[in-house]
Amino acid sequence: MIEKVFTLEAISPLDFLGAENVNLKVIEEIFPNARIVARGNQVKVIASAIEIERFTDLFNVLLEHYARYGALTADYIKYYTKEQKLSPDDPSGTDVILFGHRGNVIKAKSANQAKLVQTIQEHDLAFVIGPAGTGKTYISVALAVRALKHKEVKKIIITRPAVEAGENLGFLPGDLKEKIDPYLRPIYDALDDMLPPEKQKYYYENRIIEIAPLAYMRGRTLHNAFILLDEAQNTTPMQMKMFLTRMGANSKMIVTGDRSQIDLPKSQRSGLIDAIDTLKKIKEIGVIELTKTDVMRHKLVGKIIGAYEKKATENNEK
């Protein structure tokens, strides 16, 4: 048996080992033949040479993970050991996008979601179309956060057209921001899963993450940014053209939308549909279509979408 001492430098033992040593208990389950003792900022391991080597590999990757994401949970530890993945920088064969701050692993959960991740890696501009619940907004926000964390971009800009979905903005209480924020709630919810509150506050205050109505994009050129236009089916062709031409150097854009939820006047052509038709011959632009089979909400959601699609088809045939 060999004894080796590992030191936690510039890391709180409570953060690394977990409240009531919950993280340490998970590690002990992974190494049942080793004796592991934690005192202060040191972890002493007594085990065979092979186990010491395995423990060292895991300990180092957990240190890297903590340095990159600022958090460590039992779920993270289980993920690394289950996947036999010893580098937080390289997904190497997995479809993990990033680690949320609550211990959740954010990853593509369907073949089409995986295609979305691949498409945005290969293209600077991608259109993502699909019904509600397919994860198009959530995955897109996750890709933006990952790009920011990996220093691939300097800021994230997320926007939506402020189109009234059967409701009148003028009757909502508050100033313009307070009127618009409910329309942007899905974006905030996604970010809540991915970033701790104090980090979000820092990003918002320093304009590293901007969330704003589409009209605020006019006249800007967005360099070194990951830009997401959500609910793009509710843009007009002129709004879409305005948005797409904001793209600056070293930037990526994702445009998401749902053809079945257009809230524009019936006489107004959707900017999303118009853009896909107009730009379809530009090979550098990616297009991904998600379907009801990609729905990640309650199982009834997929059936509901299917029923409405069937009804729309029948009405078109009449």
Per-residue pLDDT of the chain (318 residues; tens, 9 = 90+): 889 999 888 788 888 888 888 888 989 988 888 999 998 889 999 999 888 888 888 888 888 877 766 677 887 788 777 655 444 444 433 467 887 766 677 888 778 888 888 898 899 999 999 888 888 899 999 999 999 988 899 999 999 887 544 444 455 555 555 666 677 788 888 898 888 888 889 999 999 999 888 888 888 889 999 999 999 999 999 999 999 999 999 999 999 999 888 888 888 999 999 999 999 999 999 999 888 777 766 667 667 777 887 777 777 766
How far from chain centre, in Å, is Cα 273? Answer: 24
Q: How far apart are CA 212 and CA 179, in angstroms?
A: 12
As given in the structure block, the two tokens for residue 84 are 């036999």
For 141, the enclosing helix (H) or strand (E) is: helix 136-149
Q: How far apart are CA 152 and CA 95, in angstroms?
A: 19
Reduce the DSSP state of residue 237 to 3 states and report it: helix
The architecture in CATH of the region 2-94 reads 2-Layer Sandwich (3.30)
CA-only gyration radius of the chain, Å: 23
DSSP 222: B
Predicted local distance difference test score (pLDDT) of residue 274 = 95
Predicted local distance difference test score (pLDDT) of residue 87 = 46
How far from chain centre, in Å, is Cα 53? Answer: 34
What are the sequence ranges of the domains in the chain? 2-94, 105-317
> Which among 216, 115, 117 has a CA at the least distance from the CA of 157?
216
The three-point CA angle 193-158-183 to 5° equals: 80
Predicted local distance difference test score (pLDDT) of residue 16 = 86
The architecture in CATH of the region 105-317 reads 3-Layer(aba) Sandwich (3.40)
Q: Alpha helix (H) ranges present in 206-256?
A: 237-244
- Please indicate, yes or no, whether the overall pTM of this predicted structure exceeds 0.75: no
